[in-house]
Amino acid sequence: MSATGKPVTGPFEKTKGWLDWCDKPSKPDFVLPEGSVDAHCHVFGPGAEFPYAPERKYTPCDASKAELFALRDRLGFARNVVVQATCHGADNSAMVDACLASGGRARGVATVRRSVGDDALRRLHDAGVRGVRFNFVKRLVDFTPKDELMEIAGRIARLGWHVVVYFEAVDLPELSDFFTALPATVVVDHMGRPDVTKPIDGPEFSLFLKFLRDHLNVWSKVSCPERLSVSGPPALNGAGQAYRDVVPFARRVVEEFPDRVLWGTDWPHPNLKNHMPDDGLLVDFIPHIATTPDLQRKLLVDNPMRLYWPEEQGG
Ligand code: 0GY
């Protein structure tokens, strides 16, 4: 049984509730470039083995490493970057377990507190962790003082790691000086969550683009159209292009910063309330935002390999 009380019979065979991920993702039409990396996904539990954090703001459905790896193979990815989600707090065990079980095909992004020891950081590194995540989304986490985050950033930078930041677009003006003071590469989750009902050339998204333009160590994930979209997937908007309202935003970022963008499924899509995306459809979204083979290879292979498997790039 899973922590949510549902029987688990194997990859893609679970009994699903409305909050669970799509258990029969379509096979994408878009053929991913060889060696593509799903650079933003999670594992949740299973709760019986890796309990959820007492301080969590939500309890997800279980989403195991075996199910993640099955999805990877079905969609045609070669590798994963497993990002620690807030429901596991700073207990990175499930994420580390996935990295260790992947045969070198998964790397991780951890959450650590100021109290983390150097030995623990070294063990995370040896397991495949290459970054920490600082989360500023108020519905997901309690406040952490910036001096604590800065101290952590200083320590992980010495390991060659980067910092992944997750925040809402309205908070960028308040946070940008802190981000640019971080002594490491900064990777912004989901384009800083733009409001896609606002004009792409309006002040909010222009500020985000300027932030990237002015700071060469800032990267962006062009992920999560399903989270940002108002028009939604075909099933909700009648037909046609899934998440079409997000396309111009993501395409602008990919075309202006082709060497500093990453893409990920965000499987198993925590906290989505209106619909659960078909991960195959999400992959079919990629050629709309990265429109040439060159841009696709940078987004899906070259950039994530440079950040997470630099030793294979001679870097
Ligand atoms: C995501 C998005 C969300 C959740 C988390 O760590 C998390 O719990 O990141 C969200 O609810 O927007 O990237 O998984």
32-309: CATH topology = TIM Barrel (3.20.20)
Query: Is 87's C-beta closer than 6 angstroms to any atom of ligand 1?
Result: yes
What values do phi and psi take at 242, rounded to 5? -65, 140
The pLDDT-based confidence of 313 (bands split at 50, 70, 90) is confident
- By alpha-carbon position, which residue is closest to atom 11 of ligand 1? 271
Mutate-to-test residue for ligand 1 from 52, 92, 166, highest number of ligand atoms within 8 A of CB: 166
Say how far apart CA 157 and CA 160 lie, in whole Å.
5
Query: Is 86's C-beta closer than 6 angstroms to any atom of ligand 1?
Result: yes
Instruction: Please name the residue ranges forming H helices in 3-145.
Output: 65-75, 93-101, 118-127
Query: Is 121's C-beta closer than 6 angstroms to any atom of ligand 1?
Result: no
What is the mean pLDDT of the segment spanning 171-179?
Answer: 97
User: Which one, of 130, 61, 77, lies nearest residue 99 by Cα?
Assistant: 130
Residue 119 annotated in active site: no
- In the set 20, 38, 189, 266, the catalytic residue is 266
Cα dist. 210→40, 60, 163, 182, 295 in Å?
24, 35, 19, 18, 21
Task: Choose between 38 and 21: higher pLDDT.
Answer: 38
Burial (Cβ within 10 Å: 0-12, 13-18, ≥19) of residue 59? middle
CB atoms closer than 10 angstroms to residue 313: 11
Half-sphere exposure of 226 (CA within 13 A, CB side): 29
pLDDT at 13: 39
Residue 75 tokens read as: 């969609």
The pLDDT-based confidence of 233 (bands split at 50, 70, 90) is confident
Question: Could you report the per-residue pLDDT of 247-305, keeping only the tens digit for each?
Answer: 999 999 999 999 999 999 999 999 987 788 899 999 999 999 999 999 999 999 999 99
Query: Is 266's C-beta closer than 6 angstroms to any atom of ligand 1?
Result: yes
- By alpha-carbon position, which residue is closest to atom 5 of ligand 1? 85
Contact (Cβ atoms closer than 8 angstroms) between residue 204 and residue 167: no
Query: Is 189's C-beta closer than 6 angstroms to any atom of ligand 1?
Result: yes
Given a cut of 80, whether residue 14 has pLDDT beyond it is no
